[in-house]
Amino acid sequence: MTEIRDVLKTAFINFDLSATIKQAAISELAGTFVTEGVVTNESVYLEAVMKREEESTTGIGFGVAIPHGKSSAVTEPSLAFGRSQAGIQYDSMDGKPVHLMFLIAVPETSNDEHLRILSKLSRKLMHEDVRQKLMSVDNVEEIYQIFE
């Protein structure tokens, strides 16, 4: 079973996203994957993520979005976390801006890895206290503790 600790590295965290619209925010976080070498081709990966967005929004409401992409450009399952105090325009299910974004990247060959990560995140993020904590955490260890 994949733990958040296994896929969310310090390098994949941005506590202060500057982007205010969906695609730019996703790109901003995806850039951390590229820098760390877990995504070999950013545009190929982003295409997979945006294609998934076209099917239905990953803005699940409550200021949370969990965009994800399965792509041959991904070398290992990875998770990025971005936070925006200002909020990101996202076409969320509840029409509200997104403040907490988790971006999932998984290799094309992995079967349902991203679904396991997704369900683990979603279950926790349904709780208001978890969302509030995430709005104020300032290090990766605190994030791990929230999800364990």
Alpha-carbon distance of 34 to 118, in angstroms, equals: 21
Answer yes or no: 68 catalytic.
yes
What's the Cα-to-Cα distance from 131 to each of 1, 30, 105, 147, rounded to whole Å?
A: 23, 22, 22, 11
Are 146 and 134 in contact by the 8 Å Cβ rule? The answer is yes
CA 114 to centroid of chain Cα atoms: 11
Element (H, E) at 79: strand 78-88
> Which candidate in 68, 99, 114, 127 is catalytic?
68
Distance between CA atoms of residues 89 and 110, nearest Å: 30
- The residues, ordered by sequence, that sit 6+ positions from 112 with a Cβ below 8 Å of its Cβ are none
The residues annotated as belonging to the active site are 68
